[in-house]
Amino acid sequence: MAENDGAGGARDGANGAFSVAGGQQVAFTGVMMTHELTVEVSNPPLAGTGQQAAHWVRSGLVLAPASLGAGPTWTLWSAPEGGLAVVDGALSVPEGATSYALEPADAVPGDVAADFPALAGDVPLTLEPGASRAELERALTGQLMLTRVDGATLTAATGVQLPGVLDDLYSGDSAKRTFGVTWDNSGHRASFALWAPTAQDVTLLAWPAGASLVDAPRRFPAQRQADGAWTVDGKAADKKLDWDGVRYRYEVRVYVPATGQVETNVVTDPSSVALTTGSTHSVAIDLDDKAWRPQAWEKAPQPKVRPVDQTIYELHVRDFSISDETVPAPLRGTYLAFAQQGSAGMTHLRALARAGMTTVHLLPTFDIATVPEDRAAQRSPGDLSGFAPDSSQQQAAVAAAQATDGFNWGYDPLHWSAPEGSYAVRADGGQRTAEFRTMVGALHQAGLQVVLDQVFNHTAADGQAPTSVLDRVVPGYYHRLDPATGAVQTSTCCSNIATEHALAGKLMVDSVVTWARDYKVDGFRFDLMGHHSRQNMLDVRAALDALTVTKDGVDGSKVYLYGEGWDFGEVAGGALFEQATQGNLGGTGIGTFTDRLRDAVHGGSPVDGSTVFKQGFGTGLYTDPNGLPSSRGNAGTVNDGGDDELADLRHQTDLVELGLAGNLRSFTLVTGAGETKRGDELDYNGQPAGYADSPEEVVTYVDAHDNETLFDLGILKLPVGTPMADRVRMNTVSLATTALAQTPSFWHAGTDLLRSKSLDKNSYDSGDWFNAIDWTGQDNGFARGLPMQADNGDRWELEGPLLADPALKPAPADIAAAQAQALDLLRLRSSTRLFRLGSADLVNAKVSFPLAGPSATPGVITMLIDDTVGPDVDPALKGALVVFNASPSSATQTVPALAGRRFALSPVQQQGADPVVRTTTYDATTGTVTVPPRTVAVLLQK
């Protein structure tokens, strides 16, 4: 590498040298600048100044946006301590900087364009030959800048994004490494590994078990490895130290583009599996240590469930027991509450399991950033029952306590592979691990699988924030950046993670494997899964499939995966990669939530504030108009039962029918307009309604933790004067559309108890007052005051009168009726595999809607599952006839093709809790069934 001792100059594009003041020329191959250098610049603003618009994507290739202009003379600069800047019309290059000449190429190589489609139109610049890998690795540890000069004039200067080149240089070898802490056979000698390829120095800071964290740590210099990792061999570092229980952090000296200088960041381990209370320090524990492996968890068998058989109950750990007086007070809101077998909550879960519920889905239980983990420091707003049902005082008290109340949904990751400490009675080190495993074991003993809600699409923070871990280890790598400015994308809500980058994707895969192998978790739900690539999900699937009972203690191939396949943000439409969205996961067996049936049952999307009063199949569209504006703020459009609503109902009915048939792209039905269409030809807001290749690739639901509860939607959309008994029945009709669908069925915890959040449409930080569940069925949560102003204040004038109406508050008898009807739905679903056929071929052959079309009775769906067609799925039955009557009138349905076939009401309903459904009649002579109002009837032919 040549040195330059000149004072400054400009690149001479003709001869490939830098023209230094005074006429001296210096070769431009990896020039090491030993003195400050300045370059004169033009008066117009420089293209790219203040941005990170260039992308170093391969070791020998940089991409520059066309907006930086054309020209042959480009330079890539690196400054070890920072200091590259355009100041007062001059490029200031600090002592010690390095530069590399770049040459424009004809086109972006095909493999690069495939990996970076958003950059395919950029200008490709190839790095001068001769620079060694070691030189490039050193360059990556400093500030990077790309410049272009025209003659003697600097015309472009921009920062450089580096994830592509880091993956190019390091991902192959680092993919094989285990990061975090690994143990030798003794369980007392640990090795540490941290991936930090841009770091200039890394030191392990260690506090032996029992030492005070206010004392100075022991310091162990880490060794840089060829794959970008920094490692410490505990045995070599200190042969006498027992590493079990050591508290540790990393001191990382690294250049930070956001601050423009080298920072010394002290951070926890991104691969932590254990933490101190408050998550201030990582803790070295061996997950195989018997101290953290409760016998009840070890011995409890994992229930086996086919993906299509999944019936999932979505539950928040704190909600489950925080108000359950049958749980000892110190255990309320914790993992250990699930081990209280006699509690009201566990009694409820076991009843659900006996009826057919297969799985409990837990909202985020990994380590989160928002909730105080010291339970003694958590503060409740107290008893708020003295305020009026439409008062704003309750939400004000909750808002005042949000920082310390112990409640949050938890979609704010801090450490992905360690349990959240606020749900632990003892949160330090391996204690929270043992308590988490106790919870999993208790649910397994109850016959329920456990699904964890995973959030790999964003972190709680980025940059130098105290709760930023990844970005303080490898700045600019883990987060998805704006391609021009380098600003962190936040379309998910927070700091988006770029799991298309190899090591970010590896963190995701490694974490999922940890939970499946080391905690015996049975499934995973991925938050905003559409912000991940299809390849991310295939990588997760492959890693799980590699887990075997013999080698790992679990059969990873049985782990079910599903998530939110929404398409939005900077990744929308495949802008950056093929996304894991609805319709893109065919053949993978990975499920996506379907908004098609959900919106058709509700009446519009719950995220569309204009449809607050719009009705749907399950909320009285056309058949029971509420007389309110169908679009908020549009008084001219009123739900009055007109022809426009009839046409809308027919289309919404089509969507419900398709959802019942698995939302398959290949399923054919007669629409309400009289046309025969495949599922992928049916319209859903301009998209194909049917998108799945197999029924397990769709998760059907009518409410979840997001948005209003099903009961609250009924309060808003059904006519105000609807009797409570009818509201209960409509709750059951709506739930039946997921319970009796040919897909995995997903239930929001408490929906079977008419759960309300007092009309709150976003209760993520609304405290226990609005979120707690009463398993005794005495109170469903309605009329606990106006919901949180931040997300609901613009609707208070609409919600206040509803909350104040005592007729809209269900009595315990109403809640009991809803629960009993919901349990019957579960029994119906689990009683025959006809509701869970399991393949597109079987669904297409056996499921039909014989009365569908323009002459169908409004608000009524008649579904036939004919087991006389194709393979015999249920030897005890010839078929099932299901009538969903969502209308307020009795419905008589005649299916001529069924004349002579003897159907009778299912024994589940004959012996069930609902006397109304038992009045259903069937005439075998004509194939005529009559079903009461607001009722779902299941008839079987033996």
User: Among the options 390, 564, 760, 867, which is catalytic?
Assistant: 564
Are the C-beta atoms of residues 660 and 702 closer than 8 Å to each other? no
First to last CA, the chain: 86
Alpha-carbon radius of gyration of the chain? 31
Where in 587-672 does DSSP place strands (E)? 591-593, 668-670
Tokens of 166: 């880091």
Q: What is the dihedral of CA 733, 740, 312, 521, to 10 degrees?
A: 180
Let me know if 564 is a catalytic residue.
Answer: yes
Could you tell me whether strands 261-267 and 247-256 are parallel, antiparallel, or unpaired per DSSP bridges? antiparallel
**C-beta neighbour count of 288 within 10 angstroms:** 10
Tokens of 230: 């920094």
Pick from 932, 908, 907: nearest CA to 920: 932
**C-beta neighbour count of 654 within 10 angstroms:** 29
Please state, in angstroms and rounded to a whole number, the distance separating the CA atoms of residues 267 and 256. 14
Contacts of residue 380, Cβ cutoff 8 Å, sequence gap at least 6: 401, 405, 406, 767, 768
**C-beta neighbour count of 224 within 10 angstroms:** 16
**C-beta neighbour count of 930 within 10 angstroms:** 17
Query: Looking up tokens 């070295």, which residue turns up?
Result: 284
Chain centroid offset of residue 507 CA: 15
Could you tell me whether strands 523-526 and 560-563 are parallel, antiparallel, or unpaired per DSSP bridges? parallel
Whole-number Cα distances in Å, 765 to 332, 376, 706, 707, 787? 18, 19, 12, 13, 11
Are the C-beta atoms of residues 775 and 751 closer than 8 Å to each other? no
3-state secondary structure of 537: helix
AA letter at 884: F
Contacts of residue 29, Cβ cutoff 8 Å, sequence gap at least 6: 1, 2, 100, 101, 128, 130, 131
Please state, in angstroms and rounded to a whole number, the distance separating the CA atoms of residues 538 and 182. 26
What are the residues facing 85 on neighbouring strands? 92
Contacts of residue 561, Cβ cutoff 8 Å, sequence gap at least 6: 523, 524, 526, 537, 540, 541, 544, 589, 590, 591
Please state, in angstroms and rounded to a whole number, the distance separating the CA atoms of residues 242 and 187. 9
Tokens of 12: 């001479």
Would you mind telling me the total number of residues written for the chain in this entry? Answer: 942
Number of helices and strands (H, E) in the chain? 23, 47
**C-beta neighbour count of 303 within 10 angstroms:** 18
Whole-number Cα distances in Å, 182 to 179, 437, 552? 8, 20, 16
Are the C-beta atoms of residues 833 and 874 closer than 8 Å to each other? yes
3-state secondary structure of 710: helix
Please state, in angstroms and rounded to a whole number, the distance separating the CA atoms of residues 525 and 561. 6
Let me know if 874 is a catalytic residue.
Answer: no
User: Among the options 286, 471, 527, 624, which is catalytic?
Assistant: 527
Tokens of 813: 């008898």
What are the residues facing 233 on neighbouring strands? 191
Please state, in angstroms and rounded to a whole number, the distance separating the CA atoms of residues 885 and 431. 52
Determine whether 681 is exposed, middle or buried from the number of CB atoms within 10 Å of its CB (0-12, 13-18, 19+): middle
Pick from 636, 789, 638, 601: nearest CA to 713: 601
Pick from 750, 826, 645, 911: nearest CA to 323: 750
Catalytic residues: 527, 564
